[in-house]
Every structure is written in structure tokens, then in C-alpha cells.
Amino acid sequence: MSQQVLVLPGDGIGPEITAEAVKVLEACRDQLGLDITLDEGLVGGAGYDAHGEPLPAQTLDKARAADAILLGAVGGPQWDKLPDLSKRPEKGLLGLRSNLKLFGNLRPAMLYPQLASASTLKPEVVSGLDIMIVRELTGGIYFGQPRGIRTLENGEREGFNTYVYTESEIRRIAKVAFEMARKRDKRVCSVDKANVLEVTILWREIMEEVAKDYPDVELTHMYVDNAAMQLVRAPKQFDVMVTGNMFGDILSDAAAMLTGSIGMLPSASLDEQGKGMYEPCHGSAPDIAGLGMANPLATILSAAMMLRYSLDQGDTAKRIEQAVSEVLDEGLRTADIMSEGMTKVSTSQMGDAVVQAL
């Protein structure tokens, strides 16, 4: 039976970049015999504009039914002023993550040799960089209760959120990190703030506990402030980094930017059965939306990740990744990764080139 893929273009450059990934998936279907069926849905600002909800019920239903989801990006200035936080585009994304229980977020930060010069860091500091950040995605302060803004007795307002993790939430993300490390350099660095925050004292304790089941994997701990420093100072020291939702949000973006080409980086968000949502690491870039300038490669590589992790099509995934590498070798570049002597191409030209190279 054909595997069902739901495509959620979202906002900003989302529709442009997912269109290119769809091109590539269709080429795999038509030319390589990949047996998938593609459907589309609205999410984020697009969902709000059409149905008054960033995560319309029909989208959630489709997402539940699908075998895997490919997402563009959500958000834009036109929705930033919505007084009701629950209507903002980001809530569509957060709603998908939590409703589908996509707790395991994989964010690779790797440097493409062809794009080494795009990094703001010195070549010797980043060449060969290959970090896998494992971020917990359905817990922590993003979802903790109670939360809100209340008025105190003295009349002034107070904003509050709750940073919370249970043992089992920590245990299952720990396992994802250790399993991942086994397939890589067998080192996990767990990032916390255990010198200040109780929730991360528990985090550290459970990491130690799970580590006992993985004697072949080395576990170290690092405070989040130090981790942010070490990413700048000597990023190649890391193999797998595991951390909570908020710290992971910050550190994975910093790590991605070390490569200088965040337009190249895919991500996966997985549930306990390996079903997942795949999306580029970058955002919806409303400033360049509709201009045909966006780099579709992170989304195309997200589609490849989807084939590998959720659809068990590792060979086709590899072909897509090789095709991407080839177009880079040919010197094709979208504006974000353009450099002297290369050939500047548009979003759709880049997608076409990948299809060509397949």
C-alpha cells in the first residue's frame, strides 16, 4: 500500500520551498518507483487566514492519518500582533508537535565541504563539523502549566511560565540521544543548568540512569551557558548533544548558524513509533517570500530524512542527498549561499537541478 505524505507549506517562503521538495518526491515516485501519495494541508498563518485557527481540525486529522509530514515554515509579521497567543502561527506548529507526540527533535548541524567558506567561523574551527542536536520537543517550558499573565494584589501584572519535566519524559529523549550516538561517534553531551534549576537536576540524574544501559556510549554534562560558549569556541568537540525544549531551541539555532548555511539544514521530529514531521531548520523568512530567492535544499533534505526515518526508504534518501551534493559541486547556489565564481539560481531552478541530478 502506498505511503501517505502530508505536505504543509505554511507561511512565508514555505509554499515555495515545499513546492521544490514535492517536485523531488514526485520525481522519485515517477522515475524511481517510490510508492507514496501526496496530500496538502493548511497550517500556521495560512490556517488562521482560511479557518481562523493556526491548526485547523482537518489539518490535524490529515496529519494523524499520514505516515509522515513535510512542513515548510510558519509565521509572519501580519500575525505577530494577534492579541490571542493561541491563534498565532507558531501555535499551529506547537499543536502538531504535541498532538502527534513528536517529542524527539533531531537537528543536525553539519558543514557541507562545498560551502565551508559560508561560515563566519574560521575554516579550521568548523571544517568537518557534524553535530547532532537531540532536542526534547513536547515538554519543558513550552508546554508547562500554569502559565499566563495575572494581576497581583498591588495592581501590577506578572507574567509566568512553568519549566517542568517528568522522569519518563527525560528518559525517552535520553534513549533517542543514546541510540543516535551508537550510530555515530558514541558520545552524548547532555546540556542543563543543574547548578541553578531543580528541573535540570532531575534531568541530569535520569541521563546518568539511562547511560547505564549504554556502556559503550560516553555521557558528559555541560551547563547551558558553557555549551553556548563551547559551540563558538570549539564546536567539533561535540557528537550528540541532548537537551530540553527551550535550551534546544537556542543551541540548535546557534549550532546551525556555525555552518553559515542554515538554508541547507533539515530536521526531524519523531514520535515513539518513528512517525515524524520533517522541516527545514530555518524559518519562514517573510522578507523574501514570493521572490523565488529562498533556498529549497533544507526542505529537500528534510524530505530525504523523511524517507529514511519514517518511510524506510534509505536508498532513495541517499539518492536525493547525492543529488543535492552534485548540484553544489556544479556550483549552483541560491542567494543565501552565493559566493564568487558560482552560478546564482532561483528557488525553482535549484529544485529542477536536483530533479535533474537524481
> What is the per-residue binding string for ligand IPM in 177-196, x denoting contact by CB under 6 A?
------------------xx
Residue 95, annotated ligand binder?
A: no
Cα gap 138→150, rounded to integer Å? 25
Half-sphere exposure of 303 (CA within 13 A, CB side): 34
Q: Is 249 among the residues known to form the active site?
A: yes
Query: Could you say whether residue 158 binds a second copy (CB under 8 A)?
Result: yes
How far is Cα 270 from Cα 268, in angstroms, rounded to an integer?
A: 6
Cα distance between residue 318 and residue 154, in whole Å: 62
Question: Is 71 one of the binding residues for a second copy (CB under 8 A)?
Answer: no
From candidates 32, 77, 147, 220, binder to a second copy by CB under 8 A: 147
Cell output for 36: 507514496
Inter-residue long-range contacts of 300-304, CB under 8 Å, 24+ positions, other chains counted: 300/20, 300/21, 300/24, 300/324, 300/351, 300/354, 301/264, 301/265, 301/266, 302/21, 302/70, 302/266, 302/267, 302/268, 302/278, 303/21, 303/24, 303/25, 303/70, 303/278, 304/266
Task: Compute, in degrees rounded to 10, the torsion defined by CA atoms 29, 34, 40, 41.
Answer: -160
Catalytic residue status for 35 = no
Consult the annotation and say whether 303 binds a ligand: no
Closest approach, Cβ 45 to a second copy, in A, equals 12
- Phi/psi of residue 25, nearest 5 degrees: -65, -40
Residue from 19, 116, 228, 335 touching a second copy (CB under 8 A): that is 228
Q: Do the annotations mark residue 182 as ligand-binding?
A: no
Smallest gap from Cβ 258 to a second copy, in A, equals: 6
Q: Which residue among 48, 91, 112, 142 is the active-site one?
A: 142
Q: Considering the rule CB under 8 A, would residue 202 count as an interface residue with a second copy?
A: yes
- Residues 151 and 125 sit within 8 Å (Cβ to Cβ): no
SS3 state at 205: helix
Q: How many whole angstroms separate alpha carbon 35 and alpha carbon 26?
A: 10
* From candidates 61, 167, 225, 287, binder to ligand IPM by CB under 6 A: 225
What is the size of the binding site for a second copy (CB under 8 A)?
Answer: 63
**Which of these ranges, 17-25, 33-41, 164-172, 308-316, lies near a second copy under the rule CB under 8 A?**
164-172
Binding segment for ligand IPM (CB under 6 A), chosen from 79-87, 89-97, 257-265, 336-344, is 89-97
Q: Is 135 annotated as a binding residue?
A: yes
Residue 294, annotated as binding a ligand? yes
249 binds ligand IPM (CB under 6 A): yes
What are residue 222's DSSP bridge partners?
Answer: 191
| Residues of this chain that bind ligand IPM (CB under 6 A) | 75, 90, 93-94, 195-196, 225, 249
| Residues of this chain that bind a second copy (CB under 8 A) | 75, 80, 85, 88, 90, 94, 120-122, 125, 141-142, 144, 147-149, 152, 156-168, 193, 195-203, 224-226, 228-229, 231-234, 246-247, 249-254, 256-258, 260, 262, 283
| Residues forming the active site | 142, 193, 225, 249, 253
